[in-house]
A and B are shown apart, each in its own frame.
Chain A
């Protein structure tokens, strides 16, 4: 039951909390069972594989959560990552220093995000339509830039960072910057005015505007954030798989959205927590890892993931409906009291 003495009732927190706690619990149960019953799961190498292969999704899920909370979506993240990787490969082949290339790639991500954001906010186009368009466009540019090349000869110390672990532990080196970004994202969404504005905009854009939120600017900066982090992910991807190709990270946007959806972020905006999104992403990653280890075929894996997603969208709704029905039955049984007693 919620405490009615709170100054601001926050129903979104209550709903999302319940769901993301459920996802987190599910993840914990899966991990514990896998440690206990799945051969070759619990060793450092496998865990580092699991985290390393899930990291690109987990990276983009951070800004994506903020964007979805504000009621928008970015489907061009996979293509932005691919484009950053392609440009990275091309410039590397041209003989530029990698220390120069990486900032250029990140800037490219800023530009990609700006293009998305400006089209959405200045022209008032729906973000779904805009980013489906730029999904194709950015991938096309990547194809033009790198063509059929695949660049693999990046410097060893960078490749080691992309695929190496911290000593003999299960933590990939690249997980450290991700953890930093996670802390930043959590603070922004759950502990700053920016985060409050995001929820306000997602819940009701009009109301937020009247309350003084600069809606367009806020959304624009969120698109820039997804673009920038996608480009960083593209750089990481090329190093992690030691291969820059124009078709890197194809379909990544769907994995990100699936994880965010599973984490209980409402695609109508205004609801969700980062904890849920991260739990959702890693639940899918761990599930895939475990299913492969116990020899579930690729086709069945896709089916299981799909069913899980449908259930994750349905479950909170069914729970809400049941709650409403209960409330209706209660109010029909007893006449409503004129005053709330005892509060």
Chain B
């Protein structure tokens, strides 16, 4: 029995024919970015309809948290803050999420599941600004309120974004901290999380803008490295930065996982104290490195408060006290009164700078 397969020639010919036909068809005009601009209809943004600021806060709701990553210490502390606040407000808290910080498809399927379970609101920290949109808008069509916290989606896919601090504040202050530590002079690098992380990229944008100021003319940003919020990868990236740039004076890491891994590498190397490290970290993670002189100062907000504000904002949305339109105000438990700003964004407050003098007062 002789068996023959389709000759490769025939395969190649088929491929050629298909591509010629396709290219020919496309040449006769097609859908381009220009021609389709503006036909992407999104559900209308928050309306002021049926909002009563004095409506009573509803109880017995289910508020589901969907962090970028479960088992990430930062989100563990933000979501436990959310749990406390939601339960104190008389509602049920639940948390679901992916174990990887770059599993967008996983996040989407969790949004789908929560839509099916008819939760009252989702508080989500988005791995990607656009990928969740279809799923979130489907959720909103089914009556689920959507609050983003920590990392935003496109503005037309959620009701309110609860921001940890203004992105501009965060980006600029990290550069200012670094500049103080290295005397406004020398090469610096950034160690970020994922290359596609919405919030990190926004902050890095403001860092670059801050570096354009004349007082920082002697600081050169030589590289932005990505450790994907993975301790091992961040550790290796730090190692690589110092091999590649032996004259490096400082590293800014705007991610709690990155700064910890970088500090761990520096404290065990000859660069300890010679290469400065700042960025966003938690006091618990960084205590030892501040004590041993690896790190002088870094900053963060209180993640537990961020989680709490996200939950209470969701409760206010479901209760009809706010709809997400700029200018509306509401009270978030004992955290005080907040006003919704531009792009339906609520800001938690200014970041706190931690150093030897005050780190002992914080336990998160």
Q: Is A112 an interface residue (CB 8 A)?
A: no
Which of chain A's residues 1-55 have a Cβ closer than 8 Å to chain B? 39-41, 43, 45-46, 49, 53
**A163 contacts the other chain (CB 8 A):** yes
Residue of A53, A163, A251 near B134 (CB, 8 A) is A163
Answer whether residue B39 sits at the interface, using C-beta atoms and an 8 A cutoff: yes
Contact A247 B102 (CB under 8 A): yes
Minimum CB–CB distance for A197 against chain B, Å: 5
Shortest beta-carbon contacts, A-B, top 4: A97-B30, A152-B130, A103-B22, A243-B131
Task: Please report the total number of A residues contacting B with Cβ < 8 Å.
Answer: 71
Contact A96 B32 (CB under 8 A): yes
Q: Is the CB of A147 within 8 A of B195?
A: yes
- Asked if A312 is at the interface of the complex by the 8 Å CB criterion, the answer is no
Shortest beta-carbon distance, B131 to chain A, in Å? 4
Instruction: Please tell me which one of the listed residues B15, B33, B34, B109 contacts residue A292 in the complex, with CB atoms under 8 A apart.
Output: B109
With A97-B31, A249-B105 known, 16 other A-B pairs at CB within 8 A are A98-B30, A152-B154, A153-B40, A163-B134, A193-B4, A197-B3, A211-B3, A212-B1, A243-B104, A247-B195, A250-B102, A293-B116, A295-B94, A298-B70, A298-B98, A302-B99
Inter-chain contacts of B99 with A (CB < 8 A): 298-299, 302
Contact of B113 among A56, A196, A293 (CB under 8 A): A293
Known: A53-B109, A288-B109, A298-B96. A159 touches B104 (CB 8 A): no
Which of the 9-residue segments B6-14, B244-252, B275-283, B320-328 touches chain A?
B6-14
- Is A110 interfacial (CB 8 A cutoff)? yes
Question: In the bound complex, do residue A143 and residue B134 qualify as a contact, i.e. CB atoms below 8 Å apart?
Answer: no
- Residues on A with C-beta less than 8 A from B4 are 193, 212, 214
Q: Which residues of A contact B (CB under 8 A)?
A: 39-41, 43, 45-46, 49, 53, 56, 92-93, 95-100, 102-103, 107, 110, 143, 147-159, 163, 193-194, 196-197, 200, 208, 211-214, 217-218, 220-221, 224, 237, 241-243, 245-251, 288-289, 292-293, 295, 297-299, 302
User: Which residue of chain B has the shortest Cβ distance to A212 in the bound complex?
Assistant: B2
A245 and B132 CA atoms in complex are apart in Å by 13
Q: Which residue of A lies closest to B198 (CB)?
A: A150
A155-B36 CB under 8 A given contacts A214-B4, A245-B104: yes
Cα–Cα, bound, A39→B113 (Å) = 11
Query: In the complex, what's the smallest C-beta–C-beta distance from B21 to chain A, in angstroms?
Result: 9
Q: Are A95 and B11 in contact (CB under 8 A)?
A: no
B108 within 8 A of A: yes
Structural contact, A217 and B7, CB atoms closer than 8 A: yes
In the complex, B335 has a CB within 8 A of chain A: no
Contact A248 to B33, CB < 8 A, known contacts A148-B195, A163-B134: no
Q: Is B25 close to A, CB under 8 A?
A: yes
A43 to B23, CA, bound (A): 41
Are B36 and A213 touching (Cβ within 8 A)? no
Q: Could you say which residues of chain A place their CB within 8 Å of the CB of B26?
A: 97, 99-100, 103
Q: Which residue of A lies closest to B30 (CB)?
A: A97
Residues in B neighbouring A211, C-beta threshold 8 A:
1-3
Complex interface: chain A residues within 8 A of B18 (CB): 103
Q: Which residue of A lies closest to B117 (CB)?
A: A40
Q: Which residue of A lies closest to B197 (CB)?
A: A148
Q: In the complex, how many angstroms separate the beta carbon of B306 from the nearest chain A beta carbon? A: 22
**How many A-B Cβ pairs are below 8 Å?**
174
In whole angstroms, how far apart are the Cα atoms of A102 and B22 in the complex?
A: 9
Complex contact B130–A150 (CB within 8 A): yes
Given contacts A53-B105, A163-B134, contact A156 B6 (CB under 8 A): no
Say whether B5 contacts A217, CB under 8 Å: yes
Cβ of B25 and Cβ of A99 under 8 Å apart? yes
Q: Are A143 and B129 closer than 8 Å at their CB atoms?
A: no
Chain B residue numbers with a CB within 8 Å of A208 are 3
Interface contact A110-B112, CB-CB below 8 Å: no
| CB<8 Å pairs between A and B, sample of 22 | A39-B117, A41-B116, A49-B112, A92-B33, A97-B32, A150-B130, A153-B33, A155-B36, A155-B39, A196-B3, A200-B3, A211-B2, A212-B4, A221-B8, A237-B105, A241-B105, A242-B131, A243-B128, A250-B103, A289-B113, A298-B99, A302-B99
Interface of chain A, main secondary structure: helix
Bound-state Cα–Cα, A220 to B8, Å: 9
B196 within 8 Å of A (CB atoms): yes
Query: Shortest Cβ distance from B153 into chain A, in angstroms?
Result: 10
Tell me whether B41 is interfacial, beta carbon within 8 Å: yes
B129 contact from A150, A156, A248, Cβ within 8 A: A150
A237 to B128, CA, bound (A): 14
Task: Indicate which residue in A53, A95, A158, A218 contacts B5 across the interface (CB closer than 8 Å).
Answer: A218
Q: Is the CB of A292 within 8 A of B110?
A: yes
A298 touches B97 (CB 8 A): yes
0/1 interface trace, chain B 179-208, chain A, CB 8 Å (1 if under): 000000000000000111000010000000
Does B310 interact with chain A (Cβ within 8 Å)? Answer: no
Contact in complex: B6, A241 (CB < 8 Å): no
Which residues of B sit under 8 angstroms from A288, Cβ to Cβ? 109
Complex interface: chain A residues within 8 A of B5 (CB): 193-194, 197, 213-214, 217-218, 221
Give every chain B residue within 8 A of A154 (Cβ-Cβ): 36
Cα(A102)–Cα(B6), bound, Å: 25
User: How far does the alpha carbon of A221 sit from the alpha carbon of B8 in the complex, in Å?
Assistant: 7
Which residues of chain B come closer than 8 Å to A237, judged between CB atoms?
Answer: 105
Q: Are B108 and A241 in contact (CB under 8 A)?
A: yes
Contacts A245-B128, A247-B102 given; does A110 touch B15 at CB 8 Å: yes
Q: Is B236 at the interface (CB under 8 A from chain A)?
A: no
The answer, among B71, B108, B129, B138, for a CB contact under 8 Å with A53, is B108
Contacts A103-B23, A241-B131, A292-B96 hold; do A221 and B33 have CB atoms under 8 A apart? no
Q: Please measure, in the bound complex, the distance between the C-alpha atom of A77 and the C-alpha atom of B18, giving whole angstroms.
A: 22
Chain B residues positioned under 8 Å from A299 (CB to CB)? 70-71, 99
